[in-house]
Chain A
Amino acid sequence: MNSISKLILSVTLALLLCINIADAAEKLNGAGATFPYPLYSAWAYDYNRITGVQINYQSIGSGGGQRQVTERTVDFGASDDPLTPDQVRKDGLLQFPAVIGGVVPVLNLGNVRSGQLKLDSGTLCGLFLGEIKFWDDDRLKKINPELKLPHTEVTVIYRSDGSGTTAIFTNYLNDTCPAWKEKVGAGKAVKYPSGIGGKGNEGVANYVKRAAGSIGYVEFAYAKQNKLVFSQLKNAAGSFVSPGFESFEAAAESGDFDPKKDFYLLLTNAPGKGSWPIAGATFILLPKEKTASNKGVVKFFDWAYKNGDKRAKDLVYVPLPQALEEKVRAYWKENGIY
C-alpha cells in the first residue's frame, strides 16, 4: 500500500501545486478584432508598467471577439463591426467605441510605390470580384494614365477569419458597388470569389508581402508598420485621397455616434472632400452583468482615452474626439461601471 499511497499523494500534491500558483496581479482577458491589436497591446504594455494590471488582449478576429464575450469566456470582447442595439440587448452586452482607424487596400506590384496607384470603388470591386484579372486592365489604366502597369496576374488576398476589417471593407464595397452587393454581400466573413485567405491582419500583410501581383486589405497601422504599398482611393465627394491621419480624422468627424444606440455607426463612404472612404471605429463589448471586471476594463480605457493619444497617433489610429469620449464616460456612468 505504501508505494501506491506515496504515488497518489505526490501526484495530488503536484496537481494542487499547479492550481495554487496564482499571482496577485489583477488580470483582465480580452479578445477580438485584430484591427486595433497593435494599439491595445501597446496600451496594455504601458498600463501594466504603471499600474501592474495585466490586460491580456488576443487578436482572434472580431467575430471571435463577439462570440467569446457572448459566451462569457473573456472579460471583454473587441469588434470593428458594431453590434446593432438589438443584438447588444439580446446578448446582455455593453458597447462603446475605443479608437478610430482605416482600412486600406495594399498591394505588391513591382516598383509601384505607396500612394501611386489610384483606385475607385469600381476598380476595387472589380479586382476583388476577380473580374479584373491583370494589372494592366484598361479600367485601371484609365484612372492611372501616368503609371506603367505590368501585365501581372492579380492575386486577391483576403481575411480567412471572421473579421471587422472585412466587415468595414465589404460594407464599403456593398455600398458603392452593386455587383458586389449582388454576388458577395457584406459581413465579417464573406465568400470571396477568388484569392487566398490569410489569418488576421498579420496573415494578410504577410501574404501580400510574399506574393507578387497581390492585392489585399489591412488596417492602416499594419500597412504602415510593415511598409506595405497602399493605394489612393476615390471618396464619396469624388476626390482621390491617401490614407492617413488627416483623412481618417475627417471621416471620424463626419460621424454621429449615439449612446442610445450603443454607439452603433458605420463610417464607410463618409461625406467630405478629405474623408477616407473605408474608415471605422473599433468597439469594445462588455458582459453587462460582470460589474467588477467591467470596472477594471473601463478604468483601462479611461486611462487610454486620457493618456494613450500619443501612442495611438504613433500607430496611426485616430483617438476619439473629445466630445465622443465624454459621451462614452456618460454611458459608463449610466451603466454603473465608472
Chain B
Amino acid sequence: MPVTVGMKFDMNREKMRKLEGFIAMTLSTLAAMAGLFWLVFILGDVLVHGIKALNMGLFTNDPAPAGIEGGGLRNAFVGQIMITFCATLIGVPVGVLGGTFLAEYARGRTIAKIISVLSDIMVSVPSIVIGTFIYAVVVKPVGHFSGWAGAIALAIIMIPVVLRTTEDMLTLVPWTLREAAFALGAPYYKVIIQVVYRGAAAGILTGILLSIARVAGETAPLLFTSFNNSFFSVNMNEPIASLTVTVFQYAMGPYESWHAQAWAASFVVTIFILLLTIIGRVVVKWRFGK
C-alpha cells in the first residue's frame, strides 16, 4: 500500500537525518578533542622537558661555550626582560594615545575608521617583515645591532594591538559619563584622563597585558635587530641576548645540553605568556562579567 511505503520512507529519512546529525556531532566533538589534545600534547611536552632542564644555574650563570660544563641563560632572561620592557615603554603610550584619538577626538570620522582598519591589518602583518624594516631604518644607519632596534621592532608590533583595544574599550564607556563631566566645565582632555580612562582602565590594562604576551614570544623580528650576545649585557645600545632567539639558536644546535636549555627557556617563556594571558582574561571577566 502506498501509504505504508510512504511511512516507511519517512521512517528511513528520519533515521538518515538522525544518523547524519549523529555523525556530524561526533565529528565536531572529535575535532574539539583534537584541539585539546594538541594543547595538552604541546604544553605537556614543554612542561616535562622544561622542568627536567630547570635549575638555579640557568638563571644565575651566563652561557658557557659548547663543550664546557655549566652555563646558563642569565643574559637571555635579563635581555628578554629589557627588550620587552623597553618595547612596552614605547608601544603602550603610543598605542593608548592613538586609541584615544580614534575613540574620542576622531570618533565617527572616516580617518578613525581608516586607521582602525589599518591597525587591524598591522596586527597580523608578518613580524619578520617588521624585522627587515627595522634592520633597514635602525640597524644600518646606526651602524650596529642593538637592544633598542629589537625593542622598537616589538613596539611596532605592540602599537596596533594596544591601539585597537584602547579604542574598543573607550568606546564602551558610556557617552553620558563624559557629558556629566563636561557639565562640570572640565576640558575634554581632563575628562578623558580622569573619567574615561578610569572607566576603561581594566580593559586597557588587559589590552596591554595581551600585547606584552604577544611580543614576549616573538623571535623573527629580533633575529636581525637585537641580534644575540653570549655575555651578560644590560646596555640597550649593544646587541643583547633574548630568550626566543637563544631558543632558536640552541634548538637548531647539535648539543644535547643546548637542547635541554632550549626546552627550559621555552618552558619559562610559555609559562610567562600563558600567565599574562590568563590574568588578562580574568581581568576582563572580573570587570565586565559574562
Which residue numbers of A lie inside 8 Å of B, CB to CB? 3-4, 7, 11, 14-15, 18-19, 21-23, 25, 27, 29, 31, 38, 41-42, 44-45, 48, 54, 56-58, 71-74, 198-200, 202-203, 205-206, 209, 222, 225-226, 314-315
Contacts and interface: CB of A to CB of B under 8 A. Distances in A.
B82 A18 contact: yes
A225 B67 contact: yes
Contacts of A23: 233-235
Nearest to A73: B144
B85 A38 contact: no
A57 B230 CA distance: 7
A126 to B, nearest CB: 26
Interface in B200-243: 227-231, 233-239
A164 B109 CA distance: 57
B144 A45 contact: no
6 contacts: A4-B189, A31-B227, A45-B65, A57-B230, A71-B143, A315-B67
Contact of B230 (A3, A58, A226): A58
Given A18-B151, A22-B234, A202-B249, 15 more contacts: A7-B93, A18-B82, A18-B89, A21-B235, A29-B145, A38-B66, A41-B66, A41-B230, A42-B66, A45-B65, A54-B231, A58-B239, A205-B254, A225-B255, A315-B67
A4 B64 CA distance: 46
Contact of B229 (A56, A200, A205, A206): A56
A45 B189 CA distance: 55
Nearest to A41: B65
Contacts, number: 105
Interface of B: 64-68, 82, 85-86, 89-90, 93, 139-140, 143-145, 151, 189, 193-194, 227-231, 233-239, 249, 252-255
Contacts of B189: 4
In the A-B complex, the 7 residue pairs with the closest CB atoms: A41-B65, A205-B254, A202-B253, A22-B235, A42-B65, A54-B231, A21-B234
B230 A44 contact: yes
A226 B259 CA distance: 13
Given A15-B89, A18-B89, A27 B231 contact: yes
Contact of A71 (B140, B194, B252): B140
B65 A58 contact: no
Most chain A beta-carbon contacts within 10 A, residue among B230, B237, B252, B254: B254
Contacts of B139: 73
B193 A206 contact: no
B255 A15 contact: no
Nearest to A205: B254
Contact of B193 (A3, A27, A56): A3
Contacts of A4: 189, 193
Contacts of A11: 89, 93
Most chain B beta-carbon contacts within 10 A, residue among A7, A203, A206: A206
Most chain A beta-carbon contacts within 10 A, residue among B65, B230, B231: B65
A299 B203 CA distance: 56
A144 to B, nearest CB: 26
A56 B239 CA distance: 9
B68 A42 contact: yes
A15 B229 CA distance: 21
Nearest to B85: A18
A38 B93 CA distance: 43
A77 to B, nearest CB: 12
B64 to A, nearest CB: 6
Contacts of B227: 31, 58
